[in-house]
Amino acid sequence: MSGLALFGGEPAASAPPPRYRSMGPAEMQAVREVMESDCLSGFYGSPGPEFMGGPKVQAFEDAWRRHYGVRHAISVNSATSGLVAAVGAAGVSPGDEVIVPPWTMSATAIAPISYGGIPVFADVEDETFCLDPNMVRAEITPRTKAIIAVNLFGHPARLAELRALADANGLTLIEDNAQAPLGAEHGRPTGTIGHIGVFSLNYHKHIHTGEGGMCVTDDDRLAERLALIRNHGENAVEGLPVDELTNTFGFNLRLSELAAAIGIAQLADIDRHVGRRERLAQTLSEGTGDLAGWRVPRPRAGCRHNYYVWMVRYDARQTGVSRATFSRALAAEGFPHATGYVRPLYLLRLFRERKAMGRDGFPFTLSNRTYGPGLCPVAERLHEREALLFEPCAYDLDDAGIARLVAAVRKVHGARAELAGWERRQGGAADA
């Protein structure tokens, strides 16, 4: 026997890796100052200086503008809220089509439905896992209003190409930049290349405020619309031309003073938070990148990858062992991971059954688009057979801890012939 933990041997990593804690003295002091001020939210949902929020919210937005070199930053209470606001600001109307990737968090594809838009799924590239511009181009119709590109796992989509495509067709490019806060494409920060960029400050991200988000844009009109949608815009539109009223009815998508104060402290330390994730992922790649059937991330030339997720493309044909069995052995060695990411979103029941708002299935009643297996074969292959994911954001690992994870992978990979024999004796294992 090889000593695999799956068969009773000693695991390569005997204890679970410690969780990462990003809150420190600066965040504690920031919260204390807000509590002592007794102002936990400075927003009013009516015209006046307070329509744009309290002092911490406005200070946070100003810091974000300066950090990313943009004209406008509009904070929201989640990136989901930011995507909804971005779709609304883009003027999406019932029956308009919005092109989205299938392999991402569901909010990306649900945001268009908030305004009666029809999500249209375009397949992803099998190296970056982001929207394939050729697939996007093929889906553009006279009904297309916007494109939402996700910088998945921390790697930039082909943003310059998608922006040019959007501009040529009169479309709005929205970047879902939840997972790539310091990503870059040829020196330009992700989140700032599209017409609107949406960042996440959710607990699981590189920096966070518990829940929260930020929208950025260089377009004054879009910024005004984002701010109206965030804060009961119907109360503050008296001066707008009637043609500009579309979608300016608002919600309460506002960030609290407490969250904004934490965000200021987190943003000041963003280089350290993101940098440690990048170093962890790069060390894993260096330590395992020579293994057959184990394709580590390979950033596109000129791109900065922030590694919200470190994803390996697993090839069972080369290893001779199903992904399910390899994963089971790897977990036993103490390497925390997942197989697959999320099912391609068009396989969610609301798309398959074309049911969203009301009894009749609005907005799908406005379109003949149908959804089901086979729509985006690259995304389906990645999810069903190849993806093996590790979350650098979740763990606080020193060099010794990373070395143990590398050892776990190499140990299991070195015993794949034994695993293949075990798998045959079990009657085979479905790849999952």
Q: What is the pLDDT of residue 1?
A: 43
Helix, coil or strand: residue 357: strand
Per-residue model confidence (pLDDT) at position 432: 47
Average pLDDT over residues 405-418: 96
C-alpha of 95 from chain center: 26
Predicted pLDDT of residue 375 = 98
Peptide bond just before 55 cis, omega within 30 deg: no
Q: Give the pLDDT confidence score for residue 289 in this predicted structure.
A: 97
DSSP state of 255: P
* Amino acid (one-letter) located at 359: R
Summarize pLDDT for 91-132 with one digit per residue, the tens. 999 999 999 999 999 999 999 999 999 999 999 999 999 999
For 59, residues 6+ apart whose C-beta sits below 8 A from its C-beta are 260, 264
| Residue 429: per-residue pLDDT | 60
Q: Mean per-residue pLDDT for 10-36? A: 94
Please determine, for residue 431, whether its predicted confidence score (pLDDT) is greater than 80.
no
What does the pLDDT look like over 190-224, one tens digit per residue? 999 999 999 999 999 999 999 999 999 999 999 99
Residue 15 pLDDT: 87
Average pLDDT over residues 257-272: 98
pLDDT-derived band at 272, boundaries 50, 70, 90: very high
Identify the bridge partners of residue 99 per DSSP, sorted by sequence position. Answer: 120, 147
User: pLDDT confidence of 2, banded at 50, 70, 90?
Assistant: low
Band of residue 251 on the pLDDT scale cut at 50, 70, 90:
very high
**What is the per-residue pLDDT for 208?**
97
| Ordered strands of the 188-189 beta sheet | 188-189, 184-185, 303-304
- Name residue, tokens 């922030």: 306
- Confidence (pTM): 0.96
E-strand spans in 92-212? 97-100, 118-121, 144-150, 172-176, 184-185, 188-189, 196-200
Q: What are the E-state strand segments in 106-192?
A: 118-121, 144-150, 172-176, 184-185, 188-189
Task: Assess whether pLDDT exceeds 80 at residue 37.
Answer: yes
Q: Give CA–CA dist 386/311, Å, rounded.
A: 9
Reply yes or no on whether the pLDDT at 157 is more than 70.
Answer: yes
CA angle 277, 304, 264 (to 5 degrees): 60
Average pLDDT over residues 140-147: 98
pLDDT digits (tens, 9 = 90+) for 127-140: 999 999 999 999 99
Tokens (6 digits) for 196: 């609107």
Q: What is the DSSP string of 292-315?
A: TTEE---PPTTEE---SSEEEEE-
* Closest to 92 measured CA to CA, from 115, 109, 74: 115
CA distance 112 to 133: 20
**Domains of the chain, first to last:** 25-269 (3.40.640.10)
User: If residue 387 lies in a helix (H) or strand (E), which one and from where to where?
Assistant: strand 387-390
Q: Please provide the average confidence, as pLDDT, over all residues in the chain.
A: 96
